[in-house]
């Protein structure tokens, strides 16, 4: 598989992963967002508990206990114990909301505005318990009347606090929805940007890397086949440019070697022609001339040696011819002397016979 094909497959895989991540993120955000399925179930559970149990910061249950105490003063110890537990829970929640993570307006509505009548309520509850223990019905009625008045004021402030809390919760939901929408939009934009970058990177690598690399491969193949060609992308300053420079260097080196080989072959042909001429003259018996061809610069020594050899051979042949001529002259002189001696010998023999 080619690198370009692998890059295309890799880019497609990255795009699929990014799209899958977007889908998972969108599903998860929608699941846990304010107003989403999980948040709605949590809110429903909170509302369910709130509908069953009275809130500790609201003195509704203590007011009912005080009412029962007025109706059944003989249960004073039982009611007093329950009221003490309710007072403890009330004080704990008041202390919590004084430093709780909530707006100052809501905190003041509960811990100040609603707490002032509540404190009068608890004071009258203590007096009611004392009157019940003494069996003082008139004091109990007076305390209960003060309790009812304090409870009514407390209830008014509680209703106001509930209204403020409802508005505050609605504003929080709106803010959360806006924040979630902004975050989701930013996430979507970021994901699309990553997707675009991945696709752009794939296209860039295909066009700017793989296509030029394929052209360099074709040039290298052409040069390897012994043909000359122009190497592309020599002006690039990146790694492909360096590769192109290396390929062009090999091209120039091969071209120079080919030129050197051609020059060497031409020089060899000149030398061979010159030597052939000399040998043909020698074969014809002509030793008067050496080579008349000017040998290349690298073969000047061969030219000198060849001409020197021809000259030496010519001198040797001339010496042999001269010696041969001298021997021939001497032979002729000896033959003449021998012939003269023979004639004289014959004359002497004839003279002897006559005598």
The three-state secondary structure class of 82 is helix
Q: Are 307 and 290 in contact (CB under 8 A)?
A: yes
pLDDT of residue 290: 64
The pLDDT score that the predictor gives to residue 122 is: 95
The predicted structure's pLDDT at residue 300? 73
pLDDT along the chain (355 residues), means of 10: 64 75 71 60 57 72 91 92 93 88 86 93 94 92 94 92 84 74 75 78 76 82 80 80 83 81 79 74 68 69 73 76 78 78 73 68
Residue pointed to by tokens 């809110």: 43
Residue 218: DSSP 8-state:
H
31-37 long-range contacts (CB < 8 A, ≥24 apart) are 33/176, 33/177, 33/180, 34/172, 34/173, 34/176, 34/177, 34/180, 35/173, 35/177
Tokens standing for residue 56: 């500790």
Encoded tokens for 303: 């030219």
Which CA distances in Å does 283 have to 54, 272, 277, 286, 303?
Answer: 139, 16, 10, 7, 19
pLDDT of residue 230: 83
Looking at residue 78, its pLDDT comes to 93
Q: Is 194 in contact with 22 (CB distance < 8 Å)?
A: no
pLDDT value of position 138: 92
> DSSP character for 57?
T
d(CA 345, CA 170): 172
- Long-range (24+ apart) CB contacts under 8 A made by 329-334 are none
Which residue from 53, 81, 49, 79 is spatially nearest to 66, judged by alpha carbons? 79
Whole-prediction pTM value?
0.53
Task: Please identify which residue in the block is written with the tokens 């500790």.
Answer: 56
Q: Is the separation of the CB atoms in 180 and 29 below 8 Å? A: yes
The predicted pLDDT at position 75 comes to 92
Question: What was the pLDDT predicted at 29?
Answer: 67
Q: E strand or H helix at 288, and its extent?
A: none
Residue with tokens 């051609």: 262
- The pLDDT score that the predictor gives to residue 186 is 74
Q: What is the pLDDT of residue 342?
A: 74
* Tokens 């360099």, residue located: 216
Query: How distant is the alpha carbon of residue 222 from its chain centre?
Result: 33
């Amino acid at each position: 598989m080619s690198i370009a094909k692998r890059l295309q497959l890799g880019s497609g895989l990255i795009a699929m992963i990014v799209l899958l991540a977007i889908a998972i993120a969108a599903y998860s955000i929608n699941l846990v967002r304010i107003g989403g399925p999980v948040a709605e179930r949590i809110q429903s559970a909170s509302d369910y508990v709130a509908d069953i149990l009275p809130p500790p910061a609201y003195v509704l249950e203590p007011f009912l206990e005080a009412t029962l105490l007025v109706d059944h003063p003989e249960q004073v110890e039982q009611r007093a114990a329950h009221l003490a537990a309710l007072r403890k829970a009330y004080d704990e929640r008041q202390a919590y909301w004084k430093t709780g993570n909530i707006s100052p307006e809501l905190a003041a509505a509960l811990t100040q505005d609603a707490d002032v009548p509540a404190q009068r309520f608890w004071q009258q509850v203590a007096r009611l318990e004392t009157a019940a223990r003494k069996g003082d019905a008139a004091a109990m009625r007076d305390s209960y009347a003060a309790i009812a008045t304090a409870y009514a004021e407390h209830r008014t402030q509680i209703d106001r606090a509930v209204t403020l809390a409802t508005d505050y919760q609605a504003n929080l939901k709106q803010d959360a929805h806006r924040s979630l929408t902004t975050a989701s939009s930013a996430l979507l934009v970021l994901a699309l940007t990553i997707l675009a970058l991945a696709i752009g990177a794939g296209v860039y690598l295909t066009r700017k890397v793989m296509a030029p690399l394929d052209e360099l491969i074709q040039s290298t193949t052409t040069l390897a086949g012994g043909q000359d060609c122009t190497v592309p992308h020599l002006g690039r300053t990146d790694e492909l440019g360096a590769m192109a420079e290396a390929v062009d260097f090999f091209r120039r080196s091969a071209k120079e070697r080919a030129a050197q080989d051609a020059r060497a072959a031409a020089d060899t042909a000149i030398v061979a022609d010159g030597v052939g001429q000399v040998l043909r003259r020698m074969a014809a018996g002509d030793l008067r001339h050496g080579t008349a061809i000017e040998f290349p610069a690298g073969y000047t020594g061969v030219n000198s040696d060849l001409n020197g050899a021809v000259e030496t051979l010519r001198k040797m042949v001339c010496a042999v011819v001269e010696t041969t001529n001298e021997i021939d002259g001497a032979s002729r002189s000896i033959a003449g002397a021998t012939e003269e001696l023979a004639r004289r010998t014959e004359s002497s023999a004839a003279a002897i016979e006559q005598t």
